[in-house]
Amino acid sequence: MAAIKELRARKILDSRGDWTLEVDLICDDGTMGRASVPSGASTGRHEAHKLEDMDKSIANVNVLLSSLVGQDVTNQQQIDLLLLNTDGSEDKSNLGANVTLAVSLATCEAAAISQKMPLYRWIQKLSGTEKLSMPTPMLNFINGGKHSDSGLPFQEFMAIPVPGHPYHEQIATGQRVFQALKQTLIKLGQRTAVGDEGGFAPKLASNEEAIEVLLQAIKAAGLQAGSEVAIGLDIAASAIPDLAPVTYPLRPHDYFVKLVTDYPILILEDPLPEDDWDGWTQLESAIGQRVHLLGDDLFTTNPRRLQEGIQRKSANSVLIKPDQIGTLTETLQTIALAKQSGMSIAISHRSGETESTFIADLAVGTAAQFIKTGGLSRGERVAKYNQLLRIESELASAPQA
């Protein structure tokens, strides 16, 4: 048994140049796991509480040490329960969800190393996933909303290789579209600066123009929109200051039905505000057979909110961000609930990221259908895509039964 011996916490920089928390968890056999915590620009109000004071966060990590020393590092559920009990609040507001998550994920990595298993294999065991699979990348190629100064109301305009092909082919398809989009923007006299998530941030006139430009790039890459590359949109409705006519020229429900009808949209994320349960249910009834209606701010990786959404039939897909809930065990509970309900699952980064590749292993280890980790021009985003290429290669050389 590898027992927890020491925690070392420090503040590090995230991809926006802000301070965030990193934790090393060391076991008595010398095994070490490391985890860092990202942060979002557009956050749902039902997310667990993040402690912004990094000095206090570090102090809170040290508070946890006394209850964790001697614990078997492979007992993830027990360790996460100790974290929850020590915090004692509903929303992790005493210790901070960033504190509990950093320790929780560091525990997972240390356990995998102690068991001499790849991280994705250990997550597979923890989650009870029967068969590993590679996720389809949701590539955010035009950044809007709070992720850039483009002025576009919608937050993300994504190119999504049509599922069903090997991951390395999908990422190669995405790379072709990304390079074609850059050249398309140059020809249009647009800038090619990038936003927080590694996609371009052009000054376009409307959301529809951004979709059209992305469709032009798909065509310029020699690919067929719809049959080879689909469109994904993250509206981030709760982050739009007001639902002005420039954003929704029609009633929101009718507008999104029209968008799905007019364009080859595969994924529609957060089209309505986070507490508009009835609106979500009506939209799911109208377009759920045609798209993955993806709830992020609606669910905030919280199993209780997801259960309510399942009962209301408000969405058919859930976005998973571990920092929204604060422990790996609760994250896996939400994933399990989604699977039981037949929902598709997308594992996601945050706009303020670190170089950690944990979510890549999480996506494979839980057999999530999608992964969302930005564009192809920032190292903290590319790190996740490259980790998936490594995992795919490992799985190909040692296929599972």
122 belongs to a structural domain = no
Structure tokens at 19: 């301070």
Residues 112 and 234 in one domain: no
* CATH number for the domain harbouring residue 100: 3.30.390.10
Q: Is the pLDDT of residue 2 over 70?
A: yes
Catalytic residues: 197, 321
Q: Is the pLDDT of residue 399 over 90?
A: no
Number of domains in the chain: 2
346 three-state secondary structure: strand
74 belongs to a structural domain = yes
Residues 104 and 140 in one domain: no
Residue % of the chain over a pLDDT of 90:
89
148 belongs to a structural domain = yes
Structure tokens at 165: 């092909």
Residue 45's pLDDT band, with cuts at 50, 70 and 90, is confident
All residues at 6 or more sequence positions from 209 whose CB lies less than 8 Å from its CB, including other chains:
none
Pairing of strands 229-234, 19-27: unpaired
Residues 179 and 82 in one domain: no
Residue 241's pLDDT band, with cuts at 50, 70 and 90, is low
Residues 143 and 74 in one domain: no
Residues 279 and 298 in one domain: yes
Structure tokens at 232: 């994904």
**What residue type is 305 in one-letter code?**
R
Please state, rounded to an integer, the average pLDDT across all residues of the chain.
94
Q: Are 145 and 236 in contact (CB under 8 A)?
A: yes
How far are the Cα atoms of 22, 44, 91 from residue 88, in angstroms, in the given order?
A: 22, 22, 9
User: Alpha-carbon distance 358 to 354, whole Å?
Assistant: 10
15-43: per-residue pLDDT in tens? 999 999 999 999 999 999 999 999 876 67
Last residue of a domain, one of 92, 116, 140: 116
201 belongs to a structural domain = yes
Residue 150's pLDDT band, with cuts at 50, 70 and 90, is confident
Residues 147 and 177 in one domain: yes
Residue-by-residue DSSP string for 23-36: EEEEETTS-EEEEE
User: Alpha-carbon distance 211 to 196, whole Å?
Assistant: 19
Residues 195 and 97 in one domain: no
Residues 234 and 339 in one domain: yes
Residues 307 and 209 in one domain: yes
Q: Is the pLDDT of residue 50 over 70?
A: yes
121 belongs to a structural domain = no
φ, ψ of residue 223 in degrees (nearest 5): -120, 160
User: Alpha-carbon distance 265 to 283, whole Å?
Assistant: 15
Residue 401 is predicted with a pLDDT of 41
162-198: per-residue pLDDT in tens? 999 999 999 999 999 999 999 999 999 999 999 989 9
Q: Is the pLDDT of residue 47 over 70?
A: yes
Q: Is the pLDDT of residue 242 over 60?
A: no
362 belongs to a structural domain = yes
Residues 135 and 253 in one domain: yes
Residue % of the chain over a pLDDT of 70:
96
348 belongs to a structural domain = yes
Residues 277 and 327 in one domain: yes
Last residue of a domain, one of 69, 90, 116: 116
357-374: per-residue pLDDT in tens? 999 999 999 999 999 999
Last residue of a domain, one of 63, 91, 116: 116
* CATH number for the domain harbouring residue 153: 3.20.20.120
Domain that holds residue 12: 4-116
Residues 104 and 148 in one domain: no
Q: What average pLDDT does this structure show over 295-323?
A: 97
pTM: 0.96
73-113: per-residue pLDDT in tens? 999 999 999 999 999 999 999 999 999 999 999 999 999 99
